[in-house]
Amino acid sequence: MKSWGEISLWMDQLQQPRTARPALAAQVQAEVAIIGAGYTGLWTAYYLKRLAPQLRVVIVEAEVAGFGASGRNGGWLMGNLLGEDRMLAPLPAAQRRQAFDLLHGIPDEVAQVVVREGIDCDLRKGGVLYCAARYPEQLASLRSYLQHLRDLSLGEDDYRWLDAGELAGQVRMVNAYGAVYSPHCATIHPAKLARGLARVVEAMGVEIYEGSRALDWQPGLVTTAHGSVRADWVVPAVEGYAAELPPLGRHQLPVQSLMVATEPLPASVWEQIGLNQGQAFSDFSRQVTYGQRTHDDRLVFGARGGYRFGGRLRTDFTLNQDERDLRQSLMGDLFPALRKVRLTHAWGGNLGMARRFRPHMLRDAGNRIALAGGYGGEGVGASNLAGRTLADLILGQDSALLQQPWVFTDSPISRLRSWEPEPCRWLGYNAIIRSFTREDALLANPHTPAWRRRLAQALANRMEGLMAWKVG
Ligand SMILES: Cc1cc2nc3c(=O)[nH]c(=O)nc-3n(C[C@H](O)[C@H](O)[C@H](O)COP(=O)(O)OP(=O)(O)OC[C@H]3O[C@@H](n4cnc5c(N)ncnc54)[C@H](O)[C@@H]3O)c2cc1C
């Protein structure tokens, strides 16, 4: 592993001593063995110990707690899941409302835990702004998104339209047309949450072994280079790293997301931009962008993803000049004052995308395996829900958490949809992303004639439809 500071801005900012915990060097017996000390593994351990303090829970982590996406993300702690609308639409209205309430409650649940456990992770619940700001077509997409939410009976308290004037009260982007605002989101310092959680679960009696890569796993046994854990339950919690832990890679595609951080910006710049309450913000294009103003007054901004042939993970996240420039230029389109600002950090990470483009939380009772994943870049809040759900699944507790469409109780892992073999995956991914990038470039250029704009949109719509093929 490189030095911690090079993992991300967040890991660089940790005040605590950066010494790795000892590696596993013995054969141990436990009730639950967890592979991976990111949010999923740590939240699962946390809720297991809350419910059943007597359990012996052991976590093996290949690098250090928070090394994966949990120590690298954009810090949006969202009260929703990827694809929740598709999953919840078929439910009766009352059940759907309960499920939305459960999801919307995620940021508050995390807020309660961090207060109770004394984890200082800069949590601020300022909501989220999905903004139409780079081209006028975004306005129509946003309005249709809001209508879609209304069709699911989500009202003004959940999602609210902001016209350009109201939006300017929260964030000032050049050419902003309007936005959808939701209060169900907080921003956090990701590494402080991951490392703080690790400290808390350890104090509760969970054993964490760092530098302990699981080389092999099977029901009841996890093996590392110098030790092993025999356990009643095994919880692989590796999300974007599933490709390295067969057979999980079939069900989870590793996608890379890249981010940059500015130097701390003076008050005069923030007067131009706003974002005074810890709001998360996004530019509403087909390709993901996400940002937040940090506690120390930087702008952290992430955009766009990547997929490598054969599902190869990216391990070196030193961004090249083109990768940095692309993100700075997208950031500069929204905030011209930041076009030339100094970037102090640039990094990225691997995240996991499930074939159905929706997360899963699963118990394979026959093999005593419990796992969660497929968060698709929206795992900060989802992993908290997953931790609570996996704890209930493992302990056999009946709860409302288990009655949700993303939960598979007593299903073999093979129940999860598999990705197509290569080269289909790579070709499909690149064709789709290219159409999105092309559409974005044409629409962002005010001189593009109307017919080309419509054509680009039609093609991207078609590709989006293709992406959803076999989603189920
Ligand atoms: C750049 C970026 C920005 C993102 N921004 C957001 C955001 O703003 N909001 C949001 O909701 N989501 C975001 N995400 C996604 C979110 O961070 C993840 O979904 C979430 O952190 C997943 O947590 P996890 O514990 O499941 O996986 P991870 O945090 O990736 O943890 C997996 C752990 O398993 C370890 N591991 C892997 N293989 C092995 C092995 N064989 N043996 C032992 N240990 C192993 C890894 O070292 C790692 O520590 C982002 C992701 C990235 C990469």
Distance CA 224, CA 233 (A): 17
Convert the pLDDT of each residue in 312-332 to its tens digit: 999 999 999 999 999 999 999
Give me Rg for the CA atoms of the chain.
22
Bridging pattern class, strands 343-354 and 360-364: unpaired
Q: Chain-centre distance of CA 303, in angstroms?
A: 13
* 133 closest CA partner among 168, 81, 169: 168
- For 453, other C-beta atoms within 10 Å of its C-beta total 17
pLDDT confidence of residue 17: 73
Residue 387 lies in a domain: yes
pLDDT, the chain, mean: 95
CA of 263 to the centre of ligand 1 (A): 25
Mean pLDDT of 443-451: 94
Indicate which atom in ligand 1 lies nearest the CA of residue 292: 8
Query: For a substitution probing ligand 1, which of 380, 385, 389, 406 has the most ligand atoms within 8 Å of its CB?
Result: 380
Query: How many separate domains does the chain show?
Result: 3
Residues 167 and 290 in one domain: yes
Residues 170 and 39 in one domain: no
- In the structure, what pLDDT confidence band is assigned to residue 287 with cuts at 50, 70 and 90? confident
Residue 104 lies in a domain: no
Distance CA 241, CA 26 (A): 25
Nearest protein Cα to ligand 1, atom 21: 70
* 257 closest CA partner among 309, 312, 314: 314
Query: For a substitution probing ligand 1, which of 10, 73, 189, 287 has the most ligand atoms within 8 Å of its CB?
Result: 73
Inter-residue contact 422 to 310 (CB < 8 Å): yes
108-121 exposure pattern, b = at least 16 Cβ within 10 A, e = fewer: eebbebbeeeebeb
Indicate which atom in ligand 1 lies nearest the CA of residue 378: 11
Residues 273 and 380 in one domain: no
Residues 68 and 204 in one domain: yes
Q: Which stretch of 115-129, 386-400, 406-420 has the lowest confidence by average pLDDT?
A: 406-420
Mean pLDDT of 175-203: 97
- In the structure, what pLDDT confidence band is assigned to residue 468 with cuts at 50, 70 and 90? low
Quote the domain boundaries for residue 434.
424-471
Residues 346 and 362 in one domain: no
Asked if the model's pLDDT at residue 16 lies above 80, the reply is no
Mean pLDDT of 438-462: 93
Residue 23 lies in a domain: yes
Residues 344 and 360 in one domain: no
pLDDT confidence of residue 318: 92
CA of 390 to the centre of ligand 1 (A): 17
Q: What percent of the chain is predicted at pLDDT more than 90?
A: 89
Convert the pLDDT of each residue in 365-393 to its tens digit: 999 999 999 999 999 999 999 999 999 99
Binding pocket residue ranges, ligand 1, CB within 6 Å: 35-41, 60-63, 67-70, 72-76, 78, 213-214, 237-241, 244-245, 257, 259, 290, 302, 348-349, 351, 375, 377-381, 383
Inter-residue contact 74 to 300 (CB < 8 Å): yes
Asked if the model's pLDDT at residue 122 lies above 90, the reply is yes
Query: For a substitution probing ligand 1, which of 241, 257, 293, 358 has the most ligand atoms within 8 Å of its CB?
Result: 241
CA of 141 to the centre of ligand 1 (A): 30
Query: For a substitution probing ligand 1, which of 67, 81, 304, 351 has the most ligand atoms within 8 Å of its CB?
Result: 351
- For 444, other C-beta atoms within 10 Å of its C-beta total 15
Indicate which atom in ligand 1 lies nearest the CA of residue 379: 19
pLDDT confidence of residue 233: 98
Distance CA 19, CA 195 (A): 12
pLDDT confidence of residue 471: 47
Helix (H, G, I), strand (E, B) or coil at 361: strand
Q: Please give the DSSP secondary-structure letter assigned to residue 27.
A: E
Residue 288 lies in a domain: yes
Helix (H, G, I), strand (E, B) or coil at 229: strand
Residue 55 lies in a domain: yes
Nearest protein Cα to ligand 1, atom 14: 377
Asked if the model's pLDDT at residue 469 lies above 60, the reply is no
Nearest protein Cα to ligand 1, atom 52: 73
pTM for the structure as a whole: 0.97
Give helix then strand counts, H and E, for the chain.
Answer: 13, 19
pLDDT confidence of residue 336: 95
CA of 373 to the centre of ligand 1 (A): 10
Peptide bond into 17 cis (omega under 30): no
Q: Where are the alpha helices (DSSP H) in 118-215?
A: 137-151, 164-168, 190-203
* 443 closest CA partner among 173, 146, 138, 179: 138
Given 396, 415, 434, the domain boundary residue is: 415
- In the structure, what pLDDT confidence band is assigned to residue 3 with cuts at 50, 70 and 90? confident
pLDDT confidence of residue 472: 41
Inter-residue contact 375 to 356 (CB < 8 Å): no
Q: CATH number of the domain that 232 lies in? A: 3.50.50.60
- For 97, other C-beta atoms within 10 Å of its C-beta total 15
CA of 118 to the centre of ligand 1 (A): 23
Residues 262 and 222 in one domain: no
With vertex at residue 383, the alpha carbon angle to CA 357 and CA 324, rounded to the nearest 5 degrees, is 70
Furthest C-alpha separation in the chain = 68
Bridging pattern class, strands 299-306 and 369-373: unpaired
Residues 275 and 292 in one domain: yes
H or E stretch including 291?
strand 289-293
Residues 243 and 264 in one domain: no
Given 336, 352, 368, the domain boundary residue is: 352
Bridging pattern class, strands 252-262 and 228-236: unpaired
Residues 399 and 329 in one domain: no
Q: CATH number of the domain that 141 lies in? A: 3.30.9.10
Query: For a substitution probing ligand 1, which of 187, 221, 239 has the most ligand atoms within 8 Å of its CB?
Result: 239
Distance CA 286, CA 141 (A): 10
Indicate which atom in ligand 1 lies nearest the CA of residue 386: 26
Inter-residue contact 68 to 240 (CB < 8 Å): yes
Provide CB contacts within 8 A for 207, sequence distance 6+: 28, 30, 56, 57, 58, 59
Residue 267 token pair: 């008050």
Inter-residue contact 128 to 185 (CB < 8 Å): yes
The sign of the dihedral angle between the CA atoms of 347, 352, 358, 361 is negative
Residue 111 lies in a domain: no
Residues 267 and 411 in one domain: no
Residues in the chain: 472
CA of 368 to the centre of ligand 1 (A): 23
Residues 283 and 180 in one domain: yes
Residue 217 lies in a domain: yes
Residue 99 lies in a domain: no
Given 327, 352, 377, the domain boundary residue is: 352
CA of 70 to the centre of ligand 1 (A): 4
Instruction: Give first-to-last CA distance, the chain, whole Å.
Output: 39
Letter for the amino acid at 277?
Q
Nearest protein Cα to ligand 1, atom 2: 73
Nearest protein Cα to ligand 1, atom 33: 36
